[in-house]
Amino acid sequence: MIHINFLEILKTSFTLVILLFCSLVTMTFAIERWWYYRSVRIDVEKFMAAIKEFLEAHKHAEALNLASNSTGPVAAIVRIALLNRSRPKSEVAALLSAAQIDERGKLERYLGILGTMGNTAPFIGLFGTVVGIIKAFHDLALSGSGGPSVVAAGIAEALVATASGLAVAIPSAMFYNYFVKKVKDIASDMEASSIRILVYLGLS
């Protein structure tokens, strides 16, 4: 059985160094996004029910205070509506639409990096494999009649690059799809909350 020294391969293969860097980038931004989404998470139904209760009691200051002290895109949307409740409906609706665009931009920040890692890592690994196989057959040509045993270790090491590329790409794709689903869910909450706050303010 051929023994593969992964540390030695890492020292000699620049593609594995690139993939190691890609894996660090993936984990860094995945953790950052997870922490961000966790920090802006609120119970939207409970929050909007409390806002409705304050507005029905004409306690606009209390509603604004609740929105200001709450985190997340939905609270930001409601806060903008409350601050501009004296404006015409069309203006408030336009401000809410603009706020949704701004908040969605914050939610989607760095997701492109995760998507790029998921798409390009397999190709980087494949490139490393091709380069490794070329090198292995070059060694075979230099050895003359050494037979398959001369290239067996080299090809095994080359295939490590493909495996490494997949090892980076699969988690990246999973993180990306998970976070995209989170963005869609929060965007739906923002849209629904925008409609509700207009109704609560009597601007529907």
pLDDT tens digit sequence for 57-77? 999 999 999 999 999 999 999
Say which range, 85-99, 122-136, 143-157, has the weakest mean pLDDT: 143-157
* pLDDT tens per residue across span 16-26: 888 889 999 99
Residue 70 falls inside a structural domain: yes
Residue 189 falls inside a structural domain: yes
Phi-psi region of 58 (alpha: psi -120 to 50; beta: other; left: phi over 0): left
By the 8 A CB rule, do 139 and 150 touch? yes
Question: Whole domain around residue 48: which residue ranges?
Answer: 6-200
Look-up of token digits 């190709």: 123
Mean pLDDT of the 119-131 span: 89
Say whether pLDDT at 152 is over 50. yes
**Residue 64 neighbours by CB under 8 Å, 6+ apart:** 79, 82, 83
Instruction: Check residue 202 and give its pLDDT.
Output: 85
Domain total for the chain?
1
Instruction: Check residue 3 and give its pLDDT.
Output: 54
Residue 47 falls inside a structural domain: yes
* pLDDT tens per residue across span 78-123: 999 999 988 999 999 999 999 999 999 999 999 999 999 999 999 9
Residue 13 falls inside a structural domain: yes
By the 8 A CB rule, do 203 and 96 touch? no
Residue 1 falls inside a structural domain: no
Instruction: Check residue 137 and give its pLDDT.
Output: 78
Look-up of token digits 């992964």: 6
Q: What is the pTM of this model?
A: 0.84
Say whether pLDDT at 42 is over 80. yes
Residue 184 falls inside a structural domain: yes
The two tokens of residue 14 are 């620049």
DSSP 3: -
* pLDDT tens per residue across span 171-203: 999 999 999 999 999 999 999 999 999 999 887
Residue 159 falls inside a structural domain: yes
By the 8 A CB rule, do 9 and 16 touch? yes
